[in-house]
Structure 1
Amino acid sequence: MAIVVEDFFKERKYPFIFTLLILFICVAFFLFSFSNTTSNPVAFYSVIQHQAPPHHASKPKEQELPLKVTNVTADEDQGLPPEEDAVTIDWKLCEDPQNVDFIPCLDNFVAIKALKSRRHMEHRERHCPETSLHCLLPLPKGYKAPVPWPKSRDKIWYDNVPHPKLVEYKKDQHWVVKSGEYLVFPGGGTQFKDGVDHYIEFIQKTLPAIKWGKHTRVVLDVGCGVASFGGYLLDKNVITMSFAPKDEHEAQIQFALERGIPATLSVIGTQKLTFPDNGFDLIHCARCRVHWDADGGKPLYELNRILRPGGFFAWSATPVYRDDERDQKVWNAMVDITKAMCWKVVAKAHDSSGIGLVIYQKPTSSSCYEKRKENNPPLCENGDGKNSSWYARLNNCLTPLPVDDKGKLQSWPKSWPQRLTSKPPSLPTDSVSKDKFFKDSKRWSELVSDVYVKALPINWSSVRNVMDMNAGYAGFAAALVDLPVWVMNVVPIDVPDTLSIIMDRGFIGMYHDWCESFSTYPRTYDLLHSSFLFKYLEPRCDILDVAVEIDRILRPNGYLVVHDSMEILNKLTPIFSSLHWSVTLHQDQFLVARKGLWRPTSSSD
């Protein structure tokens, strides 16, 4: 603005009074924006002497951070930033009560209101604001340290997720019950009339080839409710990605994560799910309220994309076992679409409560596609063979079966737990790739054992929900497999795509762009891990915005562990210190920051 005003004076194109008026308006607007409180969750935080650069800048930015640190502990040989003139971050609190559970890319009501259609669940998809979250979310009143696992599977503190709507709405189906200070999860569900454990056994008896925890390890539960299905499958050595949209079933995914059960917010709408092709061993839907036959079957084509060849789709819904006109119409449509997709029904049964189940299997050979009378739906053309599901529209075609770099159809992974340490089917067959993979696994096994568990100031007994922000081959998750934790393996969109390999190994994960907010509720993870991630982020987004998102996701008393260069650690240390986190540096490579309960006042603290 100063340059513009200077040009007015030099070129004398406008009257002097008019120029002063423009200057006065701009200064007044600037002062007002910094004096206003931050009830708007994307309001600006103040950084004295500089203002945060805009989100998603096109070129690297010089990051100005506070340099004087007073509450940092470190090993004696650690070099901390020099004590120069400090740049103070004046953190603001997001004051509106609804901001307690704010999810920036799912609660962008301005963008949602402007949608031309909601017919295909567009309003449940991601709509990230142009401005990042620039204030800190408040804690729920009465927030407590979460109930530890495994007790948390069956009960959680009500004050941590004070949402009574689902209790009343599903009271006859035993999803969740309020009992004093707790929310209790009896293991019921719409289709689990005899309990979820009985239902899981019913599926196994219906199709013994499923072999929970051996042949079937990685599961997707669509429209999961409070994720009791995935929670009880953990006893079978099955890891389940449970997902549902943020809808009128208030806080169901928040309940799941508070319980310590893997879950994420997502929806089958107009865009692909953020999972790789051919990743899941089994997909499950129990009255999940997805219209599988919509748009000519696009939702089913999406399941076909992410289901492993030979994998199963277990569907328990009224069209399977009711004869009314509406249900039969849906069933007939499913018959036509699944036949065109070359899926076959491998089992169909009813349990003692009258609930019906049908299990489909995806083909393991392309011969059926070639023998179809009509090439409808056609096979997709995927020239480069890479996964590209981030903000991508649903396919109107079938994803081809995966082949290795020699053109041979990929095999099913070895049974669990052998698949954890064996060569993943999607790993390239050349010796260099294999050597790199096994060296990475060995390195992480040693690093976690010698440093993360023994040397870093982490109380692992308080850790349940873990996120690896840059997962690579999931070596970090593999090294933690004997601890009572689960890991959300995130593959950033701007690094090599390894998510198929991660799922081949028997883990769950998803794609994400860390220049945007993650699709999860606040306070849902106990530990966030970042290994050499920030070098990919600095050219595109503000490191301070990423720190605010980490603060949003992490629970109070949770840990951030950053494995990176000292240049990056020196930039991060003052940011998290300004949040009143305890910060420890170790061996010039690791930063451990532990979040506390501190929240700023409405203006500055």
Structure 2
Amino acid sequence: MPLDFWIWFDNVPHLKLVEYKKEQNWVKRSGNYLLFPGGGTQFKEGVDHYIQYIEKNLPKIGWGKRTRVILDVGCGVASFGGYLLDKNVITMSFAPKDEHEAQIQFALERGIPATLSVIGTQRLTFPDNAFDLIHCARCRVHWDGYGGKPLLELNRVLRPGGVFIWSATPVYRDDERDKKVWKAMVALTESICWKVVAKSFDSSGIGLVIYEKPVSSSCYKSRKENIPPLCDENTRPKTSWYTPLDGCISAIPITNTWPTPWPQRLNSKPLSLSTDPEAERVFHEDTKHWSELVTNVYIGSLGVNWSNVRNVMDMNAGYGGFAAALSDLPLWVMNIVSVNGPDTLPVIFDRGLIGIYHDWCESLNTYPRTYDLLHSSFLFGNVTHRCDVLDVVVEMDRILRPGGVVIVEDNIQMLNKLKHIFRSLHWSTSLHRQRFLVGRKGFWRPETKR
């Protein structure tokens, strides 16, 4: 991957961030392009140096082997996650839309996984114990706010034994404000049994601290004070969709082990899979099914130029078999698991893939024209019980890039219905084997009245 990512300026014509961050080397304009040299507030010597510095401080991180799935909080233009792609690390980068323009749109335009999100009052749309590592470089989150709920949310989604890397001014500055924040962070992390495994300062004066989450709940029970309390697992909501943040510590699974190293992790039995032998059989059959289908149909028979595909979304991901089958291609897949179906998202993360929960009767937290290919396998039958198929297609049209492709696997009745809707949007369509519909979005736009 080149050190200078570049994108067309006209696709994301925002200059505010260029001006605001011009001294920090985040993004520059050069003629018709925006360039991303890999700088940042905390990356004074470049992202590559910063990534190496982290691993030097904690060698067991093992980028791309032990550590595969990362959450980058308040990611900016996602250079941290972008540079880790070359190390076989997949990063879910997120940030809200703020005064610095559409940073997530920059990230997706660069071909880096990202989503619009914020740690506010509700849980992030990820399962418990999902991420191997969480990173925050001056992400402007008050971790001790609201009784520590923001940090408790990170604790919820961080895998037991996983680490949180905090690179922020309270770690390395001594002014009164930063010392107060650091003192609050020390108290909070100790109360949830996070252990400091590294703290240091590099040659540029930037510092970081690395915390490790415990691998069992024994520390929680030995605390002098039960603050924050352990969650009551009988009453604690299991869903992460429109669910308020916890004010308690979620219990660590008793049968907790670290996933096998990548890439073996992709096809090993996921830790969160049911212990029922039938569940393991179904999982391996699903993996085999998608491997054969992608190889025999998707790659060679549907007329898709995969060399032009970077940002992919599987709208009904199941166990993530479609993404797993594409893992050797230079692309990434956002796996969507319906909030109204079986909860397979923990399995997807256990495999070393990324995804989110979503309801396709609502809009998705992304900018328009941010995905190159959308894939749907028997999604619409369930969705249309609750909303109109037209609403879903309009949302697909919003997030698909002009020139992008949709592949739908479904019954012939649904494919015929979708074909007419696609054509009403001036998409070209082709039907394959009476089972697969391929739609290609053009550059047509509705005429506006003056």
Shift of residue 385 of structure 1? 8.4
The equivalent residue for 2:427 is 581
1:272 equivalent in alignment to 2:123: yes
Q: How does 1:341-360 map to 2 (within 5 A)?
A: 341-360=192-211
Q: How does 1:554-569 map to 2 (within 5 A)?
A: 554-569=400-415
1:175 equivalent in alignment to 2:21: no
Provide the C-alpha distance between the structure 1 equivalents of 2:236 and 2:288, rounded to a whole number of angstroms.
28
Sequence identity percentage:
70
Residues 441-500 of structure 1: CA deviation (Å, up to 9, x unaligned): 000000000000011111111100000001000000000000011000010111100111
Which of 276, 296, 320 is matched with 1:450 structurally? 296
Residues 104-160 of structure 1: CA deviation (Å, up to 9, x unaligned): xxxxxxxxxxxxxxxxxxxxxxxxxxxxxxxxxxxxxxxxxxxxxx56961000000
Provide the C-alpha distance between the structure 2 equivalents of 1:509 and 1:152, rounded to a whole number of angstroms.
27
Which of 131, 135, 152 is matched with 1:284 structurally? 135
Provide the C-alpha distance between the structure 2 equivalents of 1:456 and 1:195, rounded to a whole number of angstroms.
41
The equivalent residue for 1:20 is none
Q: Tell me if structure 1 keeps the 8 A contact 2:237–2:243.
A: no
The code of the aligned residue for 1:440 comes to D
Residues 177-229 of structure 1: CA deviation (Å, up to 9, x unaligned): 00000000010000000000000000000101101000000000000000000
Provide the C-alpha distance between the structure 2 equivalents of 1:151 and 1:193, rounded to a whole number of angstroms.
18
Q: Tell me if structure 1 keeps the 8 A contact 2:3–2:38.
A: no
Provide the C-alpha distance between the structure 1 equivalents of 2:121 and 2:98, rounded to a whole number of angstroms.
16
Q: How does 1:231-310 map to 2 (within 5 A)?
A: 231-310=82-161
**More displaced stretch, 418-427 vs 372-381:** 372-381
Provide the C-alpha distance between the structure 1 equivalents of 2:74 and 2:143, rounded to a whole number of angstroms.
13
Greater fraction of residues in strand: 2
Structure 1 residues 385 and 585, CA, compared in 2 at 3 Å: closer, same or farther? farther
Which of 368, 389, 394 is matched with 2:219 structurally? 368
Structure 1 residues 450 and 457, CA, compared in 2 at 3 Å: closer, same or farther? same
Q: Tell me if structure 2 keeps the 8 A contact 1:153–1:259.
A: no
Q: How does 1:202-601 map to 2 (within 5 A)?
A: 202-383=53-234, 387-402=238-253, 408-601=254-447
Counterpart of 2:65 in 1: which secondary structure? coil
The equivalent residue for 1:134 is none
Counterpart of 1:297 in 2: which secondary structure? helix
Q: Tell me if structure 1 keeps the 8 A contact 2:231–2:251.
A: yes
The equivalent residue for 1:73 is none
The code of the aligned residue for 1:320 comes to V
Counterpart of 2:280 in 1: which secondary structure? helix
Structure 1 residues 448 and 384, CA, compared in 2 at 3 Å: closer, same or farther? farther
Structure 1 residues 386 and 559, CA, compared in 2 at 3 Å: closer, same or farther? farther
Provide the C-alpha distance between the structure 1 equivalents of 2:28 and 2:247, rounded to a whole number of angstroms.
42
1:191 equivalent in alignment to 2:42: yes
Counterpart of 2:302 in 1: which secondary structure? coil
Provide the C-alpha distance between the structure 1 equivalents of 2:449 and 2:256, rounded to a whole number of angstroms.
57
Shift of residue 363 of structure 1? 0.3
Q: Tell me if structure 2 keeps the 8 A contact 1:410–1:426.
A: no
Shift of residue 379 of structure 1? 1.2
Counterpart of 1:441 in 2: which secondary structure? helix
Larger Rg over CA atoms:
1
Shift of residue 387 of structure 1? 3.5
Q: What is the count of residue pairs matched by the alignment?
A: 450
Residues 2-44 of structure 1: CA deviation (Å, up to 9, x unaligned): xxxxxxxxxxxxxxxxxxxxxxxxxxxxxxxxxxxxxxxxxxx
The code of the aligned residue for 1:553 comes to I
Provide the C-alpha distance between the structure 2 equivalents of 1:436 and 1:512, rounded to a whole number of angstroms.
24
The equivalent residue for 1:37 is none
Normalised TM-score (structure 2): 0.98
Q: Tell me if structure 1 keeps the 8 A contact 2:215–2:256.
A: no
Provide the C-alpha distance between the structure 1 equivalents of 2:238 and 2:402, rounded to a whole number of angstroms.
35
Normalised TM-score (structure 1): 0.73
Shift of residue 386 of structure 1? 7.2
Provide the C-alpha distance between the structure 1 equivalents of 2:48 and 2:146, rounded to a whole number of angstroms.
35
The code of the aligned residue for 2:385 comes to P
Provide the C-alpha distance between the structure 2 equivalents of 1:603 and 1:519, rounded to a whole number of angstroms.
29
Q: Tell me if structure 2 keeps the 8 A contact 1:152–1:259.
A: no
Q: Tell me if structure 2 keeps the 8 A contact 1:152–1:260.
A: no
The code of the aligned residue for 1:343 comes to W
The equivalent residue for 1:50 is none
Shift of residue 383 of structure 1? 2.6
Counterpart of 2:403 in 1: which secondary structure? strand
Counterpart of 1:424 in 2: which secondary structure? coil
Provide the C-alpha distance between the structure 1 equivalents of 2:358 and 2:339, rounded to a whole number of angstroms.
6
Counterpart of 2:142 in 1: which secondary structure? coil
The equivalent residue for 1:165 is 16
Q: Point out 4+ residue stretches in structure 1 off by more than 4 angstroms.
A: 150-153
Provide the C-alpha distance between the structure 1 equivalents of 2:54 and 2:29, rounded to a whole number of angstroms.
30
Q: Tell me if structure 1 keeps the 8 A contact 2:3–2:37.
A: no
Structure 1 residues 563 and 152, CA, compared in 2 at 3 Å: closer, same or farther? farther
Q: CA RMSD in A?
A: 1.3
Unaligned runs of 5+ in 2: none
Q: Tell me if structure 2 keeps the 8 A contact 1:153–1:261.
A: no
Q: Tell me if structure 2 keeps the 8 A contact 1:477–1:487.
A: yes
Structure 1 residues 445 and 385, CA, compared in 2 at 3 Å: closer, same or farther? farther
Q: Tell me if structure 1 keeps the 8 A contact 2:320–2:335.
A: yes
The code of the aligned residue for 1:283 comes to I
Shift of residue 536 of structure 1? 1.1
Q: Which has the higher contact order (CA 8 A, sep 6+)?
A: 1
The code of the aligned residue for 1:512 comes to H
